[in-house]
Amino acid sequence: MKKYDNFHTHLMVLSRASDEDLENEFIISGIIDKFFVQFELGWKVLKELLLQEGDVRGHTGSPREIIKAAFSCFDFIEEEVWLRMLRERNDCTHIYNGDMAKELVRNILEIYIPEFQKMDKAVAEKISNANK
């Protein structure tokens, strides 16, 4: 699944964010940008998984609806975490406040990357099982 391959590859880069200088504004901005892309890849993988399952809710274009449908279909989705990611992505598209940016980076490192990693592992297992 090409979308999953992109999700996985991008996550490997984002997962190294904690190794960077988290006081550097350029690094902070880059982590936030990477998170936005990772989130987009994530909900699109969920959409594709729903379609593969034959779930008609996968035909919607709304990330919120895809997340809610995925939560009801897959046990590896934490609905509240994904909806929080969606809110932060929508609210923080243009962050100009340094404290807000640092808070988002903290959430990315402590909450969102682990959630992406959990999804990555579950989807890899799902694909592996489907190929057996």
pLDDT at 122: 96
- Ordered DSSP codes for 112-125: IHHHHHHHHHHHHH
Mean pLDDT (the chain, rounded):
92
The answer to whether 43 touches 66, Cβ cutoff 8 Å, is: yes
Set out the domains of the chain in order of their start, with CATH numbers: 2-130 (1.20.120)
Q: What is the pLDDT of residue 93?
A: 62
* pLDDT, position 96: 66
The tens digit of pLDDT for each residue in 49-102 reads 999 999 998 998 799 999 999 999 999 999 999 999 999 988 876 666 788 889
Distance CA 85, CA 31 (A): 14
- What's the CA gap between 32 and 48, in Å, rounded? 25
Kindly report the pTM of this predicted structure: 0.92
Which pLDDT does position 7 carry in this prediction? 97
Q: What is residue 87's predicted lDDT score, i.e. its pLDDT?
A: 92
